[in-house]
Amino acid sequence: MDLYGGLSIQLPFKVGIVVRTSTRNIVSQYSVLMIYFLFAEPVMLVHHLVSLAAMILSCVYNRWGCELVGTMGGSEITNPLLQTRWFLRQSGLHKTLFAEVIDLLFIIMFGAVRLGLGTKIMVAYYTHPKPDKMGRFAGLSIYAISWIFWFYIMRYAYRKYTKMFFHKEAQINGIHETKKSN
């Protein structure tokens, strides 16, 4: 079986279990988003809807299992770091060195995995003759959402780090000016 063999045969048993379990997980996550966070970022809601639709279609048509499992792995690999960031913020520890390390790891991993590796996989997927239009559309949808997330992450990083570095520079300049005036 080649890399795209899952397109023409039924989902292997283990892949089917992963897809069905992940579908239940996405349904519960989306329910939490809808119930508790009605003002969540629209892109997060779209991300969960597209993921849910792809998983349901994979189960209904019994196709795209390998691609779906790879996409879920790439999409969720940064989730522990994202959750750690949230817990640190909620517990008031977001201004610690540990929180800075988690932030930087999250940014680096997101860019490397979802955009770096994701781009390589999308090029391979689109240049291979076997993937059908539905699989290509689903892959492109998740890939586009990753770029939207990347825009939000870069905007956050720009604001955070320019504020952090300019604030420190102002403090240093203020200290020097105070010493000169005394």
Cα dihedral 79→121→108→51 (10° resolution) = -20
Asked if pLDDT for residue 3 goes beyond 60, the answer is: no
In this prediction the pTM is 0.72
DSSP annotation of 10 reads P
Average pLDDT, the chain: 80
Sign for the CA dihedral angle at 104, 118, 141, 35 comes to negative
Hey, where are the domains in the chain?
A: 5-181
Asked if pLDDT for residue 99 goes beyond 50, the answer is: yes
pLDDT digits (tens, 9 = 90+) for 5-44: 444 445 566 666 777 777 777 777 667 666 666 556 778 7
pLDDT digits (tens, 9 = 90+) for 102-130: 999 999 999 999 999 999 999 998 898 88
Q: Measuring CA to CA, how many Å separate 60 from each of 16, 23, 34, 63? A: 11, 12, 25, 8
Q: Measuring CA to CA, how many Å separate 24 from each of 16, 18, 67, 103, 119? A: 12, 10, 18, 29, 28
Residue 170 has what pLDDT?
59
Structure-block tokens of residue 176: 């020097």
Question: What does the alpha-carbon distance between residue 106 and residue 117 come to, in Å, rounded to a whole number?
Answer: 15
pLDDT digits (tens, 9 = 90+) for 127-168: 988 888 998 998 899 999 999 999 999 999 999 888 887 776
